[in-house]
Amino acid sequence: MQPLAIQFHRHNLRPNRSVRRGRSRRGFTLLETALATIIIGVGVVSIMELLGRGTNSNVESAELTTGVNLVRNIRELALKFSYNDPATPGTWGLDGAESPTDATTWNDVNDMDGRNMRPPIDSRGIRLDGLANWTQSIVVHSVDPNSLTTDTGNGTSPASRITVTVTHGSQVVTQSTWYVFDGSP
């Protein structure tokens, strides 16, 4: 008798690739496209916001620079003046031929008190017509030389406090205060 031969056939147990895949994939799904659009959109919006804030910052710093320079103009102008009017040392404010709108006629520190220069002036007292929407407001107070925060009657002290406020339109840009003293013996 012959031995019985049993043959085992190997069947291909791997799944048919065409069945598993269905259709072949050739692009992005709707979900992937939406997610990519959101990511790119957030990035673009962030960059636009950064550019906007940078522009605002540049405008504000340019205004501050102009404001500080306008304060410096008044300070330099004040340095050219005597403490009291040489002709009328007891008079506070404008006297004689001095004009409230023409700084070139001023000759002492207290002539600047209460002046609102619009357009502003430069360090020579000349109007800066190109800055017509800017204002330099100047206040001069006599102060006690032993206590600079204590105001005294105007013209009664050898020390004065000058405060200049610079505005652009109706917005205050900067303000600065300094002191001047009568150096005469």
pLDDT at residue number 52: 86
Confidence of residue 156 (pLDDT cuts 50, 70, 90): confident
157 occurs within a structural domain: yes
Report d(CA 9, CA 56) in Å as an integer: 80
pLDDT above 60 for 11: no
Contact, 120 vs 168, CB < 8 A? no
142 occurs within a structural domain: yes
pLDDT above 70 for 22: no
Contact, 134 vs 118, CB < 8 A? yes
Identify the residue with better confidence: 26 or 159: 159
35 occurs within a structural domain: no
Tell me how long the chain is: 185
Minimal CA–CA distance to 121: which of 99, 143, 95?
Answer: 99
- pLDDT digits 0-9 by tens, 128-137: 999 999 999 9
4 occurs within a structural domain: no
- pLDDT digits 0-9 by tens, 48-84: 998 888 888 888 888 999 999 999 999 999 999 999 8
Number of domains observed in the structure of the chain: 1
DSSP per residue over 15-74, as a string? Answer: PPHHHHH-SPP-S--HHHHHHHHHHHHHHHHHHHHHHHHHHHHHHHHHHHHHHHHHHHHH
pLDDT above 80 for 184: no
Average pLDDT, the chain: 86
Minimal CA–CA distance to 126: which of 106, 156, 150?
Answer: 106
Q: Which of 73-77, 96-100, 109-113 has the lowest mean pLDDT?
A: 96-100
Bridge partners for 151 per DSSP: 143
Confidence of residue 87 (pLDDT cuts 50, 70, 90): confident
pLDDT above 90 for 6: no
Identify the residue with better confidence: 19 or 126: 126
Q: Could you tell me the pTM of the whole model?
A: 0.71
Q: What is the extent of the structural domain holding 148?
A: 54-181
Which secondary-structure segment (H or E) carries 140?
strand 134-144
22 occurs within a structural domain: no
172 occurs within a structural domain: yes
19 occurs within a structural domain: no
Residue 85's contacts (CB-CB under 8 Å, 6 or more residues apart) are: 91, 95, 107, 108, 110, 111
32 occurs within a structural domain: no
